[in-house]
A and B are shown apart, each in its own frame.
Chain A
Amino acid sequence: MSRPPHRDYAGAKLGMWLFLFTELILFGGLFLLYAVYLARYPHEFAAAGREMHLAFGVANTVILITSSLLAAMAVTAVQRDDRRTTLALLGGTILCAAIFLVDKYLEWGAEIGRGIYPDSPRLAAGPPGESVFFSLYYLTTGLHGLHVLIGGALLAVVAARVKRGAIHPGDYVWLENGALYWHLVDLIWIFIFPLYYLVL
Chain B
Amino acid sequence: MSMVERPATSSFWNDTGKTGIAAWIFSTDHKRIGLLYFYSVLGFFLVGVLLGLLLRIELMAPGRTIMGPQTYNALFTVHGVVMIFLFIIPGFPGAFGNLLMPIQIGARDVAFPRLNLLSWWLYMIGAATILTALFTGGGPPDTGWTFYVPFSARTGTNVSLAVLGVFIVGFSSILTGVNFVTTIHRLRAEGMTWGRLPLFVWSLYATAWVQILATPILGITLVLIIAERLLGTGLFDPGRGGDPLMYQHLFWIYSHPAVYIMILPAMGVVTEIIPVFSRKPIFGYKMIAFSSLAIAAAGSLVWGHHMYTSGMSDNAVLVFSFLTFIVAIPSAIKVFNWVSTLYKGSISLEAPMLFALSFILLFSIGGLAGLILGAAATDIHVHDTHFVVGHFHYVIFGGSGFAFLGAMHYWLPKFYGRRYAEKPAVVGWAMMFVGFNILYFSMMVLGMKGMPRRYYDYLPEFAPLNLASTIGSWILAAGLVLLLVNLFRGLFRGEPFGNNPWGGATLEWAIPTPPSTENFEQDPVVTHGPYDFKRAGMP
Residues of A within 8 A of B (CB): 1, 3, 6, 8, 10-12, 14-15, 18-19, 21-23, 25-30, 32-33, 36-37, 40-41, 44, 118-119, 124, 127-132, 135-136, 138-139, 143
A154 to B246, CA, bound (A): 34
Q: Is the CB of B111 within 8 A of A8?
A: yes
Least Cβ distance of B85 to chain A in Å?
A: 17
B224 is an interface residue with CB less than 8 A from chain A: yes
CB within 8 Å for A22 and B241 given contacts A1-B518, A136-B235? no
Name 8 extra pairs, CB < 8 A, besides A8-B186, A14-B181, A19-B174: A8-B111, A15-B112, A22-B174, A23-B216, A25-B217, A40-B243, A135-B233, A139-B233
Closest chain B residue, CB of each to CB of A119: B232
Q: Is the CB of A131 within 8 A of B182?
A: no
Q: Is the CB of A29 within 8 A of B234?
A: no
For residue A22, which residues in chain B have a CB less than 8 angstroms away from its CB?
174, 178, 212-213, 215-216
Q: Is the CB of A118 within 8 A of B231?
A: yes
Q: Is chain B's interface secondary structure helix, strand, loop, or mixed overall?
A: helix
Q: Is the CB of A14 within 8 A of B182?
A: yes
Q: Is the CB of A18 within 8 A of B217?
A: no
B314 is an interface residue with CB less than 8 A from chain A: no
Scoring B221, B227, B235 by chain A CB atoms within 10 A of each residue's CB, the highest score goes to: B235
User: B179, B181, B187, B246: which contacts A33 (Cβ < 8 A)?
Assistant: B246
Q: Is the CB of A139 within 8 A of B224?
A: yes
CB within 8 Å for A14 and B234 given contacts A22-B215, A132-B242? no
For residue B224, which residues in chain A have a CB less than 8 angstroms away from its CB?
29, 139
Tally of contact residues, B, Cβ under 8 A: 41
Instruction: Pick the 8 closest A-B CB pairs, nearest first.
Output: A128-B241, A119-B232, A29-B220, A135-B233, A11-B186, A25-B216, A26-B216, A132-B241
Q: Is chain A's interface secondary structure helix, strand, loop, or mixed overall?
A: helix
A143 to B220, CA, bound (A): 10
For residue B215, which residues in chain A have a CB less than 8 angstroms away from its CB?
22
Q: Is the CB of A135 within 8 A of B235?
A: yes
Q: Is the CB of B108 within 8 A of A6?
A: yes
Least Cβ distance of A127 to chain B in Å?
A: 8
Q: Is the CB of B111 within 8 A of A119?
A: no
For residue A26, which residues in chain B have a CB less than 8 angstroms away from its CB?
216-217, 219-220
User: B187, B223, B246: which contacts A36 (Cβ < 8 A)?
Assistant: B246
